[in-house]
Structure 1
Amino acid sequence: MASTSTAFLALVVSLAIMVTAANARFTAMPWTPAHATFYGDETAAETMGGACGYGNLYATGYGTDTAALSTVLFKDGYGCGTCYQMRCVGSPWCYRGSPIITVTATNLCPPNWAQDSNAGGWCNPPRSHFDLSKPAFMKMAVWRAGIVPVMYRRVPCVRKGGVRFALQGNAYWLLAYVTNVAGAGDVGEMWVKRGGCSSSGSGWIRMSHNWGAAFQAFAQLGGKPLSFKLTSYTTKQTIIATDVTPANWCLGLTYQARTLASCIALHSLSKNNTSKDKPTAIMASPSFVVVVSLFVCLACMATSADAMFRALQWTPAHATFYGDETAAETMGGACGYGNLYATGYGTDTAALSTPLFQDGYGCGTCYQIRCTGSAWCGRGSPVITVTATNLCPPNWAQDSNNGGWCNPPRTHFDLSKPAFMKMADWHAGIVPVMYRRVPCVRKGGVRFALQGNSYWLLAYVTNVAGAGDVGEMWVKSGNSTGWIHMSHNWGASYQAFAQLGGQALSFKLTSYTTKQTIIAANVTPANWCLGLTYEALVNFR
C-alpha cells in the first residue's frame, strides 16, 4: 500500500500545472459605453513594443488586434493581456451591422493633461478609453472618424498552448515577460522555483512586479529547470507550471508551459510558498551627468520636525568582501547606482544581506562598522562608514555558517575590498563586526537620474541624506497635473506611466524609515532630457 501511494504521489507531482480554484473561470462582463481612437498606420508598426513589454506582437501571437488602454483600465500594468470585445455604436462612421472586434491590451494610452478630457485628452482619468491599432479600428469603423463611441465588454482570452515566459536579466536577476495568458489574461502575482515539483532546489521565490507584464526575482537560478506559479489579478486563480525550462535554460529565449495537468501534492504539501529571498541584480547604469537645477526651487521639508534620523544601537554581525582593490565589481549593483564614483559613493560601499536590503528599500542607507574579537582586526578597531549599494544574495548551496553568509535571516555585510581593508586584514576573508545604522551625510540635494521614454519615466534616486532611503515617491509636471504616484521598480528606482515632457518636473519623496516627506519643486527645466541627472536643492535630514 505504501509503495502504491508513493508511486501515485510521484505521478501527481511530476505533472505540469495546477489550478487551485475550479470556480475561478473568467466569464464575460456586461457591455459598457466608452470611446475608441487609433494610433499608427495600417502596418501597426507603432504598436510594437508598448508599455506591456510584449515586443514584436506578431512573434508573441497578438498580431494587430490590439489596444492601448487608458489609465483606469491599464491598472499600472496589471491590465496587460486582458481581452475586450468592442463594437462601434451611434455614429455614421460605424460599419453596417456594428461588427464586433476582439482586441488584447498591449499598451498604455497615457493621459494628456494639456487637452480637455472631452477634446483630445481622451485617455485622461477617469475615462475608460481604447486607443486601437489602426487595423483593428478599421474592422469596425471608417478610420477617418478619428474617434467613435463604442460599447465594450471584457471577455475571456482564448490562447493556443500554455503560458509563455520570455526570460531576460543576468546571473543574479531574472526578468520574465509573461505572454499568451488565457482566461482573464492578466497576472497579479508570480513566483519562481529553481527545480520542478519533484526535484530539489529553492523554495518558491516571490517575484515583484517590474512593469507591464514583467515580473522579476533577485536570485541565482541557473543550473536547474525553472517552475513558475502565477495568480490571476482578476480571478485570483492560481496555476503552477513546473519544469517550464530545461536545466540549461538561457536568457533571451522564450519558454512555454505545458497544458493543464495537476501538481496538487506540491501545492498541498508546500507551506513555504511565500519566500521572499531576492539576491542581487547588476543592471546597466544610467548616465550620471549631473545637471544642477538653478531654477527657483522652493522645497517643503514637510511633516514632523522630529523626523530627523539618528544613529541606532551597535549590533553584532559578520563582514566579508567581494572584488579586488579597484572595487570594479562593486560598480552597478542591485540598487542601480551605476558608476559609484560618479554618484558620489566611491568605494566605501556594502552589499547587504536580504533582511537589511529589504527588497531595495535599504538602498542608500549608511552604516558604521568596526571589526571586533579577531586577530585580523586593524589596531584600535577603526570604525568605517559605508553606504548600501548592492544586495548580497543567499547561497543556499552553502550552510549559513559556512559560506552561505548572506542566507536569511543573517544580517551580513559584503564590503568592497577597499572598505574591508580599512578595518581588517583582507586575508581573513570574514571577520566578526559590530555595526550600527547612522545618518547619511551628503553634499547637495537629492539627485534624480532619468530614463524611460515619452510614456514612461524611470527615476534613479541618489545622494539621499538622513535615513538615506526612499519609501514612496511622486512626480508632478509643471502646473498641469496633480501629484502622480510612482511605483517602486527595483533598487533605488521609481517609475511613472505618464507623458511628462515639456514642463519642469517636481518630485515628492517620503523616507522609508522616518516617514519624513520632502518636496523638491522644479528640479528640472521644462526642456529636460532622458539620460541626464538633475539635482534638487533639498535633502532629508
Structure 2
Amino acid sequence: MGFAAKSYCSLLCMLVLLFTICYSQDNYVSSKATYSGSPGCFERPSGACGYGEFGRKVNNANVAGVSMLYKNGSGCGACYHVRCKIPKICSYDGVTVVVTDFGEGDGTDFILSDRAYAKLAVPNAALELFPYAAVDIEYQRISCRYPGYNLKIKVHEKSNFPGYLAVIVLYQAGVYDITAIEVWQADDLEWRCMRRSFGTVWDLPSPPSGPLTLKVQVSGNGCTKWVQMTNVVPSNWKAGVVYDTAIQLS
C-alpha cells in the first residue's frame, strides 16, 4: 500500500506540474487594437523603428505599431500573438504580428496592418470586423521565428562612408529585445558603444576602418547576453546594403 500511495502522489504531482506549465503558456493580457488608417489612430508614416521597406513586408505584412510596448525602441522586432473577442466574428487562432512602428489609438495598445487586422476574423468575416474602430483583444509575447534567415545587419541609408555609420538589426529570432550594440576598435583594443539614434537604429560617428566586428546585447527570457558578429560589416561598407551574419538568436 505504501508503494501505491507514493506512486499516486507522484502521479498527482506530475499532473499538477503539467497543468501549471500549460497554464503559464496561456498568459494573455487583455487590451484593445485597431488598424492602420482607422479613425482616431496616430502613426508615424516614416516608421518609428527605422526598418523602412522591411517594416512593411516582413512576416507577410502582418505587422503592428505599438505604444506602451514600444519601450523607447527596444520593443521593435518583438513578436506577439493577438486575438480579438467578438463572438462569431473573431477567430481563436488570431494572428502573429511583428512590431515595426510606434502607433497609438483611443485606448489601444496595437495598431495592426490591414492584413493582420483581417486575420483576426474567422473566414469570410473580415468585412464585418473593419467597421469596429477598436476591438477588445488579448495578446501574448511569443518567440519570433524566421526559418531560412540568419540575423542580418543593415547599414542605414543615412550612413555616410567613412565618417558616419548607422546600423539596424533585422530578423532577430527568439524573445529578445536589443538593448545595446558595440563596435570593436582594434587600434585601442576596446569596444565602442553605439548610440540608439531612434527606434532600432544605432549610430556611431567616426567608426573604425577595416571590417567591423559588432557585439549586440540582447535581453529576454529572464537573462541578458552578448552576441558577437566578427567582421560582419566589410571595410568598404555602403549605405542601404544588408550584410548576413551567418548566426541567429536562439
TM-score of the superposed pair, with normalisation by structure 2: 0.74
The residue type equivalent to 1:135 in the other structure is R
Give 1:88's aligned residue: 84
SS of equivalent residue, structure 1 residue 76: helix
Q: Distance in 1 between matches of 2:183 and 2:117?
A: 38
SS of equivalent residue, structure 1 residue 232: strand
SS of equivalent residue, structure 1 residue 236: strand
1:186 aligns with 2:177: yes
Give 1:225's aligned residue: 211
Shift of 1:100: 2.2
Give 1:419's aligned residue: none
Shift of 1:186: 2.2
Shift of 1:185: 4.1
Q: Percent identity?
A: 27
Q: Distance in 2 between matches of 1:144 and 1:83?
A: 26
1:214 aligns with 2:205: no
Shift of 1:194: 5.2
Give 1:131's aligned residue: 111
Indicate how the Cα distance of structure 1 residues 58 and 67 shifts in structure 2: closer, same or farther if over 3 A, else same: closer
The residue type equivalent to 2:146 in the other structure is R
Indicate how the Cα distance of structure 1 residues 190 and 220 shifts in structure 2: closer, same or farther if over 3 A, else same: closer
Contact persistence 1:179–1:213 (CA under 8 A): no
Q: Distance in 1 between matches of 2:113 and 2:75?
A: 17
Give 2:146's aligned residue: 159
1:34 aligns with 2:31: yes
Unaligned stretches of 5+ in structure 2? Answer: 1-23, 122-128
Q: Distance in 1 between matches of 2:202 and 2:25?
A: 27
Q: Distance in 1 between matches of 2:228 and 2:175?
A: 16
Shift of 1:221: 2.4
Contact persistence 2:173–2:248 (CA under 8 A): no
Note the 1:17-166 alignment, pairs <5 A: 30-40=27-37, 49-57=46-54, 61-70=58-67, 72-89=68-85, 91-92=86-87, 94-95=89-90, 97-110=91-104, 121-123=106-108, 129-141=109-121, 142-160=129-147, 161-166=149-154
Cα RMSD of the aligned pairs, angstroms, is 2.8
Unaligned stretches of 5+ in structure 1? Answer: 1-26, 111-119, 124-128, 262-541
SS of equivalent residue, structure 1 residue 136: helix
Contact persistence 2:151–2:248 (CA under 8 A): no
Contact persistence 1:33–1:149 (CA under 8 A): yes
Q: Distance in 2 between matches of 1:229 and 1:62?
A: 26
SS of equivalent residue, structure 2 residue 196: strand
Note the 1:428-447 alignment, pairs <5 A: none
The residue type equivalent to 2:89 in the other structure is C
The residue type equivalent to 1:240 in the other structure is Q
Contact persistence 1:67–1:104 (CA under 8 A): yes
Q: How many residues align?
A: 209
1:79-106 Cα deviation digits (max 9, x unpaired): 10000001111x24633x4222100001
Q: Distance in 1 between matches of 2:45 and 2:57?
A: 10
TM-score of the superposed pair, with normalisation by structure 1: 0.36
Q: Distance in 1 between matches of 2:77 and 2:206?
A: 26
Contact persistence 1:227–1:245 (CA under 8 A): yes
1:150-198 Cα deviation digits (max 9, x unpaired): 1110011112432221113222221112211111242011111256xxx
- Higher RCO (Cα < 8 Å, 6 or more apart): 2
1:468-502 Cα deviation digits (max 9, x unpaired): xxxxxxxxxxxxxxxxxxxxxxxxxxxxxxxxxxx
Q: Distance in 1 between matches of 2:237 and 2:248?
A: 22
Q: Distance in 2 between matches of 1:28 and 1:216?
A: 37
Contact persistence 2:81–2:141 (CA under 8 A): yes
Note the 1:224-303 alignment, pairs <5 A: 224-234=210-220, 235-259=223-247
Indicate how the Cα distance of structure 1 residues 162 and 48 shifts in structure 2: closer, same or farther if over 3 A, else same: farther
Q: Distance in 1 between matches of 2:244 and 2:208?
A: 18
Q: Distance in 2 between matches of 1:218 and 1:28?
A: 44
Contact persistence 1:80–1:185 (CA under 8 A): no
Contact persistence 1:36–1:148 (CA under 8 A): yes
Q: Distance in 1 between matches of 2:246 and 2:56?
A: 19
Shift of 1:131: 0.7
1:302-334 Cα deviation digits (max 9, x unpaired): xxxxxxxxxxxxxxxxxxxxxxxxxxxxxxxxx
Q: Distance in 2 between matches of 1:251 and 1:39?
A: 29
1:18-67 Cα deviation digits (max 9, x unpaired): xxxxxxxxx967211111100149xxxx9974110100037863441101
Shift of 1:250: 2.0
Greater fraction of residues in helix: 2
Shift of 1:75: 0.8
